[in-house]
Structure 1
Amino acid sequence: MTLLLKLSQLIDWLNERVGKGAFWLVLIMTVISAGNASIRFVFDTSSNGLLEIQWYLFAAIFLLCAPYTLQKNEHVRIDVLSGKLSPRGLAVIDIIGTLFFLLPMVVAVLWLSLPLVAESYRIQEMSANAGGLIRWPVKILLPIGFTLLALQGLSELIKRIAFLAGRIEDPNSKPKGPTPEEQLAAAIAAAKAQEAK
């Protein structure tokens, strides 16, 4: 179990680095979007390549941050059910969900995406739009993102089993204290109170 927990930590480290690195793509995408809109407004011209790179970056953000989201336990849950379960019950549900839903779906997407990526690369597929971009770099994000998601699913499975075996603390527990939303609300309230003085 110790070796599996070390593997889980390695996977967590990898996906945290990839996820945090992908955050910067949001800034790049925003700058490109603002630049493209400004050029369109000022010069009445645009580029399909600039529009497509925004789509590519959005795909990269979504696919590369999904494993990080799963790791941080910020993925969508059915709160009506999960809110009523004990930590052990929630761990069992997570194990079942990972084994019977997450991992089979990830394997299916990987299996189906690899031939598409290989064919796109082989023919050097280009966008059908004038001035568009080459397609295989965005298509290769599918197997990369879903491989990282499969690894994170494996890591979460290891952690849930280790928790049930009493080897680690509850991986679903969240740090106590105000949420980011509560911190923002408090900062806004403090700013308004400062203005009122």
Structure 2
Amino acid sequence: MLVAATDTPRRSPAVRALKGLVLTLAATTTFAFAVSEQHAGPPQPAMADGHARAATAATRAAAPLPASRPLRVTVPAIRVDAPLMDLGLEDSGRLAAPPEIDKNLAGWWAGGPAPGAQGTAVIAGHVDVPNGPAVFYDLGALTPGMKIGISREDGTKARFIVDGVDVYDADNFPDDKVYADTGRPELRLITCGGGFDKQRQQYEGNVVIAAHLVG
């Protein structure tokens, strides 16, 4: 269970729309690259130490920042430094994924909170693209206590600390828990993971990073 989860999540149209995010990412990143003999595939989350989760969850949360469009995401531990694009809804009502032509590109759900503002902001990126690893390929290697930075349009940088790293099956994705407003500024980074179905040529789930604002 995510540290950030609440027993009584606050549902909203934005949360309901985000359910499609999991399905879109899991269905479009279906490249044999991930299971080739030359590559072992992206790292999967290790079992998180309960004390590490508790310690990071207890780290004092910063006050919400004014809403401002995010421009860039950095995760030093896995060498991520990528621009952010706005993600909207497709005609089907699902949240669109970033285009696969740029492997170093992530997107944020522009219909929800901006990273650093009150609420749970969501950033999604591919684990791989046709020509190799993509922006969130190493997301599963993160552990509680690692840092995430979001550069914003107003010139500020929102700094987050990782609380938990989880992998969920796409057919049983707990969208209420992952996207719920917990009462403080939080962030979710999401990509594909949870194993690769060779027959269907697609990932079976999603890796989810939960983090909260610290400065």
TM-score by length of 2: 0.22
Decide which structure has the larger Cα Rg and report it: 1
